[in-house]
Amino acid sequence: MSEAVAIRKGFFNKTNEEWKDFFINNAIYMVLAGIILAVIIKEPAFLSITVFKNILTQSSVRLILAFGVGGIIILQGTDLSLGRFVGFAAVISASMLQRSDYAARFYENMPQIPLFVPLLIAMLVIAFFSAINGLVVSIFKIHPFLATMGMMIAVYGVLSIYFASGDPGPQPIGGFDERYTEFVIGTTLGIPNLVLYAAVISGIVWVLWNKTTFGKNMYAVGGNPEAAKVSGVNVVRTTVMVYIFAGLLYGIGGFLEAARIGSANNGTGFGYELDAIAACVVGGISFSGGIGKVSGAIIGVLLFTIINYGMTFVGMDMYYQYIIKGVIIVAAVSLDTKKYLKKS
């Protein structure tokens, strides 16, 4: 008997309990596949190279953000400040990378600077605030939901002050330097640069999560903080490092997002944390802690982007899209909780 035949035979000979577990573990994917199939049936043009490239491009920044919050979820946490962090990084980057001949420049007399300077500043600023999240969560034992909610509100205030301090006053920041837009939304050998950046970061995250002490400690702390501490893992340092790494990724995401959408303001990034968290949960990164893969984050982001793009593609009203996304999030978390309780 060949291996393929044996696998098929084993699949169809499951017991009732095994079938039940199979559907519980894969129900959310079946529902999402059904939604995607309905979109394809309604609009066959959805299956095209152009749509595929657009989906990959839209997924790129979301994937980078999902990796950031994914590490925090593995620690049994969450990060509601993600969206405001992205907005802050976007505004910082946009304010420093406008064309010299643009009439409403944020810094009227700023000379042309290398692209890496605003990127580095955005990453460091966001990493600093994210590190505060990590310290508050690990030292003061404040629940991540409350700690990051407070940071979300505080950072929005800081962001709005900075946004209003520009020479033209509080108005959308646009007119970007061509170097900036080409770096972000250009192509290399026919492949969108954003997709290449996301692929490189995916590789880096995979190595960090799977082949380094940092990754091993992250999973250990997420799985059982007390056991990790007894084993010699510095729980506070590991937690702060995970939050700092998330902040660095948010900074990169904000830098890329400003150029992708063509402008930035103090509302940029609003709600991004919900999509990132939902994509992680759909991709199997569990709130129970210590569970999650890079491949899961990629699958979750792609599924959510396909659904978002597909619903827009068929002309579905935005209000209905919110309902469907909300139901998917609740269903994903419910199934994750059910699986965790069953294992316990």
CATH number at residue 264: 1.10.3470
Residue 264 phi, psi dihedral angles, 5° rounding = -150, 145
The DSSP call for residue 177 is -
pLDDT mean across residues, the chain: 90
Is residue 23 a part of any domain in this protein? no
Is residue 18 a part of any domain in this protein? no
Q: Hey, what are 246's tokens?
A: 């998330």
Q: Is the pTM above the cut of 0.85?
A: yes
The H-or-E segment that residue 191 falls in is strand 191-192
> What pLDDT score does 223 carry?
94
Is residue 15 a part of any domain in this protein? no
> What pLDDT score does 318 carry?
85
Helices (H) and strands (E) in the chain, counts: 14, 2
Cβ contact 75:290 at 8 Å: no
Residue 169 phi, psi dihedral angles, 5° rounding = 90, -175
> What pLDDT score does 25 carry?
66
> What pLDDT score does 117 carry?
97
Q: What share of the chain is helix, strand, coil (3-state, %, to 5)?
A: 75, 0, 25
> What pLDDT score does 51 carry?
87
Is residue 68 a part of any domain in this protein? yes
Strand partners, 98: 176
> What pLDDT score does 39 carry?
84
Query: What stretches in the chain show pLDDT beneath 70?
Result: 1-14, 20-21, 24-28, 337, 339-344
Alpha-carbon separation of residue 189 from 51, 192, 298 (angstroms): 18, 8, 23
Count CB-CB contacts under 10 A for residue 295.
Answer: 12
Is residue 27 a part of any domain in this protein? no
Is residue 338 a part of any domain in this protein? yes
Indicate the residue type of 103: A
Number of domains in the chain: 1
Is residue 210 a part of any domain in this protein? yes
Count CB-CB contacts under 10 A for residue 315.
Answer: 8
d(CA 106, CA 87): 16
Domain that holds residue 250: 32-343
Is residue 113 a part of any domain in this protein? yes
Cβ contact 296:283 at 8 Å: yes
